[in-house]
Structure 1
Amino acid sequence: MLFIRSALFAVLFYANLALWLVACLPLLAAPPHYLFPVARAWARTNLWMLRVVAGLGVEWRGLDNIPKGGLLVASKHQSAWETFALVAIFDRPIFVLKQELLSLPLFGWYLRRVGMIAVDRSAGASALTGMARAARERVRDGHQVIIFPEGTRRPPGAPPDYKTGVAFLYDSLKVPCLPVALNSGLFWPRQSFLRRPGTVVVSIMPPLPQNLPRKNVVGVLEQRIEDECARLTAGNDAAFATAQSAAERSAPPRKPET
């Protein structure tokens, strides 16, 4: 039954995505702000399908911690789930994402049109400068800039690997920085086809203190997010074990010691 429900959701998810991408093509000629309500409706449709078909719901905690206007959102990244789910709660979200996504047919056109911030990971320090410049423009226009501080998905319980890019943005933007913890990887594991029933809990915490020294930002952010993720994972031992098993199967083989 789990396989059947997961397969049905996958079919509906991609069919729904294709339908929205094609139906909204005329909006690519309109001002970008028209696309955000559409994206929010698409994201909420996905969450509804996930709940009805796969039995996976969501609980949002701390929505009242979201201030008005431009801000920086630093979210844990365990699954593909949050790449669309966070769109459902922010008015004008802009993601920091890898440059390759802009080349996707149709989908990449929308990413470019709304002004997503693409990062060339091979560009080194110049990529950080370009990212900060683009992010300043977005928050000045009232957008919420969303970054995954570890740069890629990490399964529940994996050692954290926070990068310095989030500290660079914190120091450059001078806007509230919201830490976000979640447990999506328990139910939508990385590189797994199965969507397990349950409730994804998303905890939106109060903003980081203002004027933190840049060298302290990563440490403070990591402690807040990882401590909260550990609390959200507690009590889900079976799901945690399954997520860990999936992560181990997808991990690259270790090189032999010499």
Structure 2
Amino acid sequence: MAPTLRPLVTEASPSRTSGTVLVWQYLMLVWRRSALSTVIAGIVTPLLYLLALGFGLGTLVNSGPGAASLGGVSYVKYLAPALVTAAALQAGVGEAAYPVYSRFKWSRVFWGISSTPVSTAQITNGQLLFLATRLAIGSALYYVVVLVFGAAGGWAGLLVIPIAVLTGASCAVWVMALAGRMRREGTAFNVVFRFVVVPMTLFSGSFFPIERMPGAIRWLAYISPLWHGNELARAAMLGTGSGLAVLGHLVFLVVLGGAGLVTARHAFSTRLIV
């Protein structure tokens, strides 16, 4: 059972403490009960992926004709950056789906918070800040495992953590907006998972260069946020990509996330006021 929700602020407190931070603190307080399982999964999952794909499948890839398309690096080093960003994307979308919807529909936590001086925009921001914190923790754990396997690159490889957070959050914020719009249970989240997240993972250059995709469907990668995140992560870990390309990928994700935040704020405001 979640902790009892107490009033987050008094009439005098908003000027001293941000409502966004208070919402984040509450969500972190609730989450800490499952934090251990998150840490364990954050270590075991990348370990299994790197062993199975990076070193298992990678042995075949490195000795096959496709090795030349990896830019002169081993498959595990090519795969590692994409695994970090893909994990952040999946975790972000998952956290933004039913957990957010439940705070409207079942636990009605957001309704309780909205009855205080905390604004709906601060509720949205607090939820996004909590989500970003979760992604930062998970991405940092993933990076540590990648580092142990010697696939993290130099010091610039640390940038894969904020890159993964940005990639996951820029997509998750749109799912938050969907959760705010939904009025009853349905298949909307299942559609997102099956027809958006899974194809995005498969066709965003995560496991093979997009140049090996048929030209007729290569455009799917170019519009995929995960592909832009993968390219940024590889630029950090492997030192690939020009400065202009890196800037383009970064702008794409920032604009996507900013537009999603505006949309989510409107959805939360409409849901909690009407």
Same fold (TM over 0.5): no
**Bigger Rg, structure 1 or 2:** 2
The TM-score range, normalised by the shorter chain, is: under 0.3
What's the TM-score, normalizing by structure 1? 0.25
Greater percentage in strand: 1
